Amino acid sequence: MSTSYSSESNSGSARVQQASAVGPSDDRSLGELVASATSDISTLMRKELALAKVEIKQEAVNAGKGAAGFGAAAFTGLLALIFLSIALAYGIGNLLGDHTGLGFLVVGLLYLIVAGIAALVGKKSLKKVGPPEKTIETLKDDVAFAKHPTSNS
């Protein structure tokens, strides 16, 4: 343990600061060093877990938005199928002289366009879903450090 002194210019009093640093002049016992390493590893794991939770939560939000987009596309696609089916039925019926089926055909095509847009939005949202890259990177760094704790990488 090293001790350093600093004086405060306003009050004129001395302040004692103690800093612990592992080095060649460290007087801590093996048990203290193991306890310190265990504590550091525990803190590191808690921070890695917190980072993973944040990243996974964001990915779940993106996946939810994508799923909602596909759900909207499926619903509007079903409506389009219903309207197109009705329009086709009226259209075939109107070949004999009435034009009411043309209105149903236009509405059905409009719903089909909405379904296509919703599907594209859902696809775009799902492309954002991926692995927790920051967590993977920091875990790789942790493993590299654990293998070679004295290197400056």
Summarised one tens digit per residue, pLDDT across range 107-130 is: 677 878 989 999 999 999 988 888
Task: Name the nearest CA neighbour of 54 among 141, 132, 139.
Answer: 132
Please provide residue 43's backbone torsions phi and psi, each rounded to the nearest 5 degrees: -60, -45
Q: Is the residue at 15 inside a domain?
A: no
Q: What's the average model confidence in pLDDT over 78-93?
A: 80
Q: Is the residue at 66 inside a domain?
A: yes
Q: Is the residue at 71 inside a domain?
A: yes
d(CA 74, CA 123): 13
Q: Is the residue at 105 inside a domain?
A: yes
Q: Is the residue at 115 inside a domain?
A: yes
> What SS3 state is found at 99?
coil
d(CA 30, CA 43): 20
**pLDDT at 8 exceeding the cut of 70:** no
pLDDT (0 to 100) of residue 13: 40
- CB distance 129 to 69 below 8 Å: no
**pLDDT at 96 exceeding the cut of 80:** no
Four-residue CA torsion sign, 103, 105, 108, 114: negative
Q: Is the residue at 72 inside a domain?
A: yes
Q: Is the residue at 28 inside a domain?
A: no
Domain count, the chain: 1
- CB distance 123 to 69 below 8 Å: yes
Domain range for 62: 53-129
Residue type, 46: R
**Which of 11-15, 26-30, 35-39 has the lowest average pLDDT?**
11-15
d(CA 137, CA 153): 13
Q: What's the average model confidence in pLDDT over 27-37?
A: 86
State the residue for tokens 């599907």. 119
Q: Is the residue at 81 inside a domain?
A: yes
Q: What's the average model confidence in pLDDT over 83-90?
A: 79
pLDDT band at 24 (very low <50, low <70, confident <90, very high): low
What is the percent of the chain with per-residue pLDDT over 70, rounded to a whole number? Answer: 73
Length of the chain: 153
Task: Name the nearest CA neighbour of 120 among 69, 83, 84.
Answer: 69
pLDDT band at 74 (very low <50, low <70, confident <90, very high): very high
Which residues have C-beta within 8 Å of that of residue 23, sequence separation ≥ 6?
none
